[in-house]
Amino acid sequence: MKKSVRDVDVRGKRVLVRADFNVPLKDHGIVDDSRIRAFLPTLTYLIEQGAHIAVCAHLGRPDGAVNAALSLAPVAGRLGELLGKDVALCGDCIGDQAEKAISRLDPGELVLLENTRFHPGEETNDPEFARRLAAPFDVFVNDAFGTAHRAHASTEGVAHHLPAVAGLLMLSEIKIIRGLRENPEHPFVLILGGAKTSSKLPVLNRLMDRVDHILVGGGTCNTFLVAQGVEIGRSEFEASCVEAAGNMLAVAGDKMVLPVDAVVAEDLRDDVETRVVPIDAIPKEWRKVDIGPETVKVFARHLSKVKTVAWNGPLGFTELEPFGEGTRQMGSVIAELDAMTVIGGGDTIAALRSYGLDGAMSHLSTGGGAFFKLLETDDLPALNVLQDME
């Protein structure tokens, strides 16, 4: 297990904390502050310990250039509201401006550094940028689980210059997701949706012997359907993965459960006509946009006695209301289970939150890609550089 912020002395130390503040914005306001709230336990602990705290994070994809629309200013405002005090935003994360802001901090005070991705060296993990980011500090705390699968300067590079430990959120994510991989309570059902089959194949290979059933919907199932010879109309699939999907179906046997019917439409629009058809009767010019009602019943039967559920990826195009019913119904089924229910991926969590079902889940992971990668392996760049418990 990794050392956490509680395992090192941070009293009076200058601490750089990497948070995941990649929150959705609309009209310069924060749509969902759950990632900010998830960071509060680590931040509160550091404040109570009297650390001198600088928080760094990214927001969006500014491509290595300053973009006012992707400033962390709204995050500073919301963080201040949650803490009940003003949180200053420094206009840069490196250089004289940042160093002066950090040097002025009293014990228990914090400053938020501006978007790390305003510098091209962040995503390229440039050693010099990492060195400059780390230079003013004594300790590095990584609490950004959602970026743990990326080797960026603020997640991996700085750990080569500072003692590096996990934040409390990071530690919780590691324990829960590793527990799914290594020692789940059975029956254990994995639910996969979303778009990409390729990203899920390594996880399926790793977990095949440890799950009791795998329920597959969303765009992910399309490649498996094609591997079975099912015509899927204009639905998207990954041609490069068809052979691997077919091999996996052969290995999985009855463990893997695919849709038996689907909601189909000609276009992705709110007002488009939809039909429910058997999975092998999708019209040639139509596309699958959601799982159908019979599939919901089949999936629900496989969940009736389950003790552990891990779910990543919506089962339809939930960004359009008419195509979210399958995800909503499955969320309602899972919310009533007497089981450990772990949900990963921003789109899945956003959908459940919009249906008012998020509070009924055991754990909402802040990671999407990182969630999947940790289900497969401990070999995540930002985790590898954290100190291990002795």
**Set 3, 6, 181, 196: catalytic member:** 196
CA angle 246, 222, 326 (to 5 degrees): 130
**Set 194, 346, 367, 368: catalytic member:** 346
- Nearest-10 crossing angle of helices 34-48, 168-182: 120
Residue 291 CA to residue 4 CA, distance in Å, equals 41
Q: Measuring CA to CA, how many Å separate 384 from each of 145, 151, 329?
A: 13, 10, 38
Which residue has tokens 């390594």?
Answer: 202
DSSP reduced 3-state for 186: coil
**Set 13, 18, 35, 132: catalytic member:** 35
Active site residue 35: yes
Burial of 182 (0-12, 13-18, 19+ CB in 10 A): exposed
Active site residue 346: yes
**Set 179, 233, 246, 369: catalytic member:** 369
DSSP string, 197-266: STTTHHHHHHHTTT-SEEEE-TTHHHHHHHHTT---TT----GGGHHHHHHHHHHHGGGEE--SEEEEES
Amino acid letter, residue 77? G
Active site residue 305: no
Query: Active-site residue numbers?
Result: 35, 196, 346, 369
